[in-house]
Amino acid sequence: MTSFAVVGCGHIAKKHIQAINNIDNAKVEALCDVNEERIKEFSHLCDAKGYQSLSELFRAHPRIDVVNICTPSGLHKDLTIQAAEAGKHIIVEKPIALTLTDANEMIEACKQNNVKLAVVHPNRFRPAVIELTKAFSKGLFGKISHANSTVRWNRNQEYYDQAAWRGTKAMDGGVLMNQAIHNLDLLLWFMGPIEEIKAYTTTRLRNIESEDVGVAIIKFANGALGVVEAATTIYPENYEESLSIFGETGSAVLSGKTANWIKHFQFQQLDTETSKQVVDKIDKDPYGTPGHQMIIQDMIESIKENRDPIVSGEQGREALKLVLAICQAAEEDNSVNWDSIN
């Protein structure tokens, strides 16, 4: 039995608890939140005791295997280091942190204490993304010309006003850090190393510290180009999340309100009927096993097999670096070299 502690009893913690409940031989043993009332709100989801500090939790449950950190992003570093020093493996919500310095310290603490660190980028496990991964592994795209990463969503002022930390630079970040980072993780994962970035960001409609709109142009190391568009200003609700990749011998577009559907899938090496079968298969089951469940299951397996999690701390750091590079390029109103971001 793998035992878990969930830290931070907010909205996203419910996904973690439900995912753990759906996995055989996994159990939520403890909850942690500074607000005792929040802990009580989660009591119906699992048979777990609640604590208001990690140190108290670890004293009461010394055999906890994995700590799931679901707090505001600005708190990730200290909690990760505390858990690592207690010898616990860690699953941390996205983004891994809000600065590369914090991310580096988290990764180093886990290495020093010989524990595993996974970052929650669950979109990698979507059925449509898995099909895209297969196409890449078979070289079906040929030479890539360009790619587009688009997140056109709505987060109204009421959303940001629900908690004082939302939209702040110290605890949360803006649309790029909070909403678009999953799509950006996929863009970076498929398109490979980056050479240069140009960008603009602005806060147009929401009363927050961080950006609610961001656009960027990316030059990848292989010479391909990328376009990023992210916004939480779309009226009146979420409109689209998409990832489009175009190559010499193939092209694919994942889209919908979330990028769970294949809207275009054509390759020189695939006949029309085969492509249609792939699209139809995804239409029948666009969600598959929930991504959080896959991340947690992978952590259990990585412990047993003594390997790195599929989405490691280092990979979470790269997605964070892309967000920070876009923001820096916008702030400096100048192109930013990827290697200069550290």
Residue 276 and residue 202: Cα distance in Å, rounded?
A: 40
Q: Is the same domain home to 297 and 330?
A: no
Rounded to 5°, angle at Cα 145 from 262 and 234: 50
Could you tell me which of 183, 194, 72, 70 has the C-alpha nearest to residue 122?
183
Q: How many domains does the chain have?
A: 2
Task: Per residue of the chain (342 residues), give pLDDT as tens.
Answer: 999 999 999 999 999 999 999 999 999 999 999 999 999 989 889 999 999 999 999 999 999 999 999 999 999 999 999 999 999 999 999 999 999 999 999 999 999 999 999 999 999 999 999 999 999 999 999 999 999 999 999 999 999 999 999 999 999 999 999 999 999 999 999 999 999 999 999 999 999 999 999 999 999 999 999 999 999 999 999 999 999 999 999 999 999 999 999 999 999 999 999 999 999 999 999 999 999 999 999 999 999 999 999 999 999 999 999 999 999 999 999 999 999 998
Q: Is the same domain home to 151 and 107?
A: no
Q: Is the same domain home to 172 and 44?
A: no
Q: Which residues does 328 contact at the CB level (< 8 Å), separation at least 6?
A: 336, 341
Q: Residue 44's pLDDT is what?
A: 85
In the block, tokens 């290697």 appear at: 339
CATH number for the domain harbouring residue 88: 3.40.50.720
Q: Give pTM, 2 decimals.
A: 0.96
Q: Is the same domain home to 106 and 135?
A: no
Residue 341 in any domain: the answer is no
Q: Is the same domain home to 307 and 262?
A: no
Q: Is the same domain home to 197 and 58?
A: no
User: Pairing state of beta strands 336-337 and 194-202?
Assistant: antiparallel
Tell me phi and psi for residue 328, to 5 degrees: -65, -40
Are 88 and 68 within 8 A, CB to CB? no
Q: Is the same domain home to 258 and 305?
A: no
Q: Is 308 exposed, middle or buried (0-12, 13-18, 19+ CB in 10 A)?
A: middle
Q: Which residues does 10 contact at the CB level (< 8 Å), separation at least 6?
A: 38, 70, 71, 163
Q: Is the same domain home to 52 and 171?
A: no
Residue 39 in any domain: the answer is yes
Q: Is the same domain home to 325 and 307?
A: no
Q: Residue 24's pLDDT is what?
A: 96
Q: Residue 43's pLDDT is what?
A: 81
Residue 316 in any domain: the answer is no
Q: Please state the three-class secondary structure of the chain as a single string.
A: CEEEEEECCCHHHHHHHHHHHCCCCEEEEEEECCCHHHHHHCCCCCCCEEECCHHHHHHHCCCCCEEEECCCHHHHHHHHHHHHHCCCEEEECCCCCCCHHHHHHHHHHHHHCCCCEEECCHHHHCHHHHHHHHHHHCCCCCCEEEEEEEEECECCHHHHHCCCCCCCCCCCCCHHHHCCHHHHHHHHHHHCCEEEEEEEEECCCCCCCCCCEEEEEEEECCCCEEEEEEECECCCCCCEEEEEEEECCEEEEEECCCCCEEEEEEECCCCHHHHHHHHHHHHHCCCCCCHHHHHHHHHHHHHHHCCCCCCEHHHHHHHHHHHHHHHHHHHHCCCEEHHHCC
Q: Is the same domain home to 116 and 130?
A: no
CATH number for the domain harbouring residue 138: 3.30.360.10
Domain of residue 255: give its range: 123-287+321-336
Tell me phi and psi for residue 262, to 5 degrees: -95, 115
Residue 274 in any domain: the answer is yes
Q: Is the same domain home to 232 and 304?
A: no
Q: Sheet of 49-51: strands edge to edge?
A: 49-51, 26-32, 2-7, 66-69, 89-92, 117-119
Residue 270 in any domain: the answer is yes
Are 5 and 57 within 8 A, CB to CB? yes
Q: Residue 31's pLDDT is what?
A: 98
Q: Is the same domain home to 280 and 164?
A: yes
